[in-house]
A and B are shown apart, each in its own frame.
Chain A
Amino acid sequence: MVQRLLPTREAEALLDLTRDIADAELRPVAAHHEDNGEFPREVFRVLGKAGLLGLPYPEEWGGGGLPYEVYLQVVEELATAWVSVAMGVSVHVLSCFPVASAGTRAQQAEWLPPMLGGELLGAYCLSEPQSGSDAAALATTAAPTGDDYVVTGTKAWITHAGEADFYNVFARTPGTTGATGVSCLLVDADTPGVSAAPPENKMGVRGSTTAQMIFADARVPGPRLLGREGEGFGIAMAALDAGRLGIAACAVGLAQAALDTATAYARHREQFGRPIGQFQGLAFLLADMAARVQAGRALYLDAARRRDAGLPYGTEAAIAKLVATDNAMAVATDAVQVLGGAGYTQDFPAERYLREAKLLQIVEGTNQVQRVVISRNLLR
């Protein structure tokens, strides 16, 4: 068990609760859902009831009022058991961000309680087939029509597509180009014209549904605009700064699980008359893995503490996401190596960790894009 520095006894109790839920509700079913590509909606209900879907938002609206420092360690702990669910929590929290940060008080009072209370699940729709890293090239339009917006276009790679109850949709006013014409709308799942395509057939994280979302002249009421028209891209980027830390926490939890699997194996597997952990060549591999896990953890916690203190943290968040996910990839690869032939089979979770780690280098800004963010801030 990871020894954590937590600010309060209540935070410790929250982490205990998270571990109990992870052990009882996530770990036993993760492999089955991953094999079958089944989204565990009921697990999110359990998490919602326990209050884990709104932790970093104000208590006034039903959130936990917790600093990122604590919330992210909850995500990390969930990720040691099942990355699909930990990432789902991170994406849900991301999709509450636009209302919480840019909504009016009236919008917050109306929508945040059910979003944070765990009854509803959210999705965040920024990427499109032709605009991934270059998010500002998005083509989905939101045409002002009477008191409504008519939304038309296709969003790609949407986590919780078809499962979510609400969708944050970034769409542009017709005739605009680039970042300036983009607005953010909160769209109900049952809005006519909104539908999900069949899920992508992914190499990993198959317990998390990913699919295109199709908006075919979907009429969204005017009061569902978050912030002002044209402010959407700024909202999207601010949300991603915070969301990246969630992905970093997922990566650290995943890497910790891979390290634990490898360490346990190295203690018991004997070759040449002794446990393989007693060969320095292998022990040093484990040492490097542990160093990588801890480095990722230290980086995301540092960025989180800056955010909690109200300091700028965009560069630190990008560095944390870059290093934690690259480290998770390396650690997961080495875990397979430590298990030898066994690591390459589905009898052990190491190969699953390897498939899952790869995703974290791609989502919420590829690791190249993190470098773009970091270097741009350096050279500014």
Chain B
Amino acid sequence: MKIAVCVKQVPDTWAEKKLTDADRTLDRESADGVMNELDEYAVEEALLLTEASGGEVVAVSMGPDKAEETVRKALQMGADSGIHIVDDSLHGSDAIATSLVLSKVLADKGFDLIIFGSESTDARMSVVPAMVAERLGVPQMTFANKVEVAGETLKIQRQTEYGYDEVESSTPAVVSVVEKINEPRYPSFKGIMAAKKKPIETVTVADAGVDAGQVGLAAAWSQVDQFSERPPKAAGVKIEDDGSGGVKIAEYLSEQKFI
């Protein structure tokens, strides 16, 4: 089985995120870049599947030069090779452009399964996996908390608010995973050394067969005109307990529509 895992570099989850003044896109320089957390689950699932029944795992990332670190991290965890889609014209791409480029690159390589994390911690839209599936004309098997492949049949448990649906499709297919699915491994020092020798192919927009005019900030379907910083935290409400503390807390919570 040939599996692609799409991984994204995002600003460290706990870091303060900022937009740049210049073009109002996310400031990727101001915080350390890390692999999007849910993508670690995607890598783990790909590794578990190939460890059980053979095959290869290719980590694919679209992002600036620094995003190579995230491809490398997937290789350290155990992926066999990487594809880094990097091109100045991609800066500011929206989900539609991202899915276009990813799908072009993925279509070329003939994967049986393409696995994503179900959302990224920076954009949080959860739409790229579905868009890629649509563009490739393959089933979209999203929000999986369990994945099984037997021959050309793919079965997932699709996480819902109250439980899960069992969904079945043929392969090739696109899968997105939620964090319930597994416990991602740490890379090992051996994995770090092995990753040194694993190939990472760099692909430009032209290599992908995409016209640079279709991607980047100028081609985005929406634009940020203006933004302001989150207001500083308000002082909060202090409730002194003179015997009626419980009632006052309940009143406050219901005023705020929490209960």
Contact = CB atoms under 8 A, between A and B. Distances in A.
Interface of A: 9-10, 13-14, 17, 20-21, 46, 49-52, 55, 64, 66
A88 B195 CA distance: 28
B17 interface: no
B196 interface: yes
Nearest to B190: A51
B186 A49 contact: yes
Interface string B70-81: 001000100000
A51 B188 contact: yes
Q: What are the 5 A-B residue pairs with the smallest beta carbon separation, nearest first?
A: A51-B189, A51-B188, A13-B192, A50-B188, A64-B189
18 contacts: A10-B193, A10-B196, A13-B72, A13-B192, A14-B189, A17-B76, A17-B186, A17-B187, A17-B192, A21-B186, A49-B185, A49-B186, A50-B186, A50-B187, A50-B189, A51-B188, A51-B190, A52-B189
A13 B193 CA distance: 9
A46 B190 CA distance: 14
A46 B189 contact: no
Contacts of B188: 49-51
Nearest to A74: B189
Contacts of B187: 13, 17, 50
Contacts of A66: 189
Contacts of B195: 13
Interface residues of B, number: 12
Interface of B: 72, 76, 185-190, 192-193, 195-196
A17 B195 CA distance: 14
B186 A46 contact: yes
Nearest to B187: A17
B76 A20 contact: no
A21 B192 CA distance: 15
Contacts of B193: 10
Contacts of B190: 51, 64
Nearest to B189: A51
Contacts of A14: 189, 192
A52 B72 CA distance: 20
A303 B189 CA distance: 24
Contacts of A9: 196
A66 B189 CA distance: 10
A46 B185 CA distance: 10
A9 B193 CA distance: 10
B121 to A, nearest CB: 16
Contacts of A10: 192-193, 196
Contacts of B76: 13, 17
A49 B196 CA distance: 19
A9 B68 CA distance: 13
A145 B187 CA distance: 47
Contacts of A50: 186-189
A20 B186 contact: yes
A1 B258 CA distance: 38
Contacts of A51: 188-190
Given A10-B196, A13-B76, A55 B189 contact: yes
A168 to B, nearest CB: 24
Nearest to A21: B186
Nearest to A66: B189
A5 to B, nearest CB: 18
